[in-house]
Copies of this chain bind each other. A is one copy, B any other.
């Protein structure tokens, strides 16, 4: 059985026999871009009911109806990992959101820092990019895209049990491999976590001082090169998933696939 190429996130209850309609944009996408027709198979997910096989039942100019057939995968418990990031330029931010989604973050939280040069964040654009990446990479849920918060407000409301790995290019920091290895040894289940990365201009000294004093913050070192904010975030997320997250699992394939 070939892999189902088309995956869609829909905010609808999924179950065998249900009939669902698609909005104009997605119907157009299936018909005109993917050139699918009646009978074509899709995979659907909604973030709670797992992944379902569906089939196009009808398709016209600007509309499509689907019939849900059977469940392909049960909903999984995704790792509880957030990304906190200072907004950066648009092309880099698009890329960061795509990659962070593939790397399995549960939440994307923009944080406005002192040296953040980007004044506004288009959260709808972030959410659209995250959805597309989630559909493509086989996730069963979307990352939650949060409204931007000022860094100090975010820290004031921070849940105490959630560890915050601070990508810090200067000052004292233990190597990320050491930090993660200690965290893995300390507990059978990983604690909720977050990776935080600053703006292109770095953190202000007062921000760094404040961050370093917080009990849930651990500065981590990522080697001798000065990484861009987006590179640092991706490197730290990849290391966390490999050491503490679901890096031990394999992609789920359907029976008969290689």
**CA distance in complex: A245, B217 (Å):** 25
CB–CB B175/A227 < 8 A: no
A248 within 8 A of B: yes
Q: How many copies does the complex hold?
A: 2
CB–CB B103/A248 < 8 A: no
CB–CB A170/B221 < 8 A: no
**CA distance in complex: A257, B226 (Å):** 14
In the complex, chain B residues whose CB is within 8 Å of the CB of A173: 250
Q: Mark A63-80, 1 if CB is under 8 A from B, else 0.
A: 000000000000010000
Given contacts A95-B95, A257-B170, A258-B205, contact A224 B251 (CB under 8 A): yes
In the complex, chain B residues whose CB is within 8 Å of the CB of A171: 258
**CA distance in complex: A85, B148 (Å):** 36
A169 within 8 A of B: yes
Number of A residues near B (Cβ < 8 Å) is 49
**CA distance in complex: A171, B225 (Å):** 34
Q: Which residue of B lies closest to A242 (CB)?
A: B177
Residue with the greatest number of chain B CB neighbours at <10 A, chosen from A103, A222, A228, A252: A222
A163 within 8 A of B: no
CB–CB A222/B242 < 8 A: yes
**CA distance in complex: A205, B257 (Å):** 12
CB–CB B103/A177 < 8 A: no
One of B205, B228, B245, B248 near A221 (C-beta < 8 A)? B248
**CA distance in complex: A239, B243 (Å):** 9
CB–CB A253/B170 < 8 A: yes
Q: Which residue of B lies closest to A104 (CB)?
A: B225
What's the nearest-Cβ distance from chain B to residue A83, in Å? Answer: 14
A32 within 8 A of B: no
A183 within 8 A of B: no
Q: When A and B form their complex, which 5 residue pairs have the shortest distance between CB atoms, in order from nearest?
A: A235-B238, A224-B249, A177-B242, A137-B225, A175-B248
**CA distance in complex: A10, B136 (Å):** 42
What's the nearest-Cβ distance from chain B to residue A108, in Å? Answer: 16
A139 within 8 A of B: yes
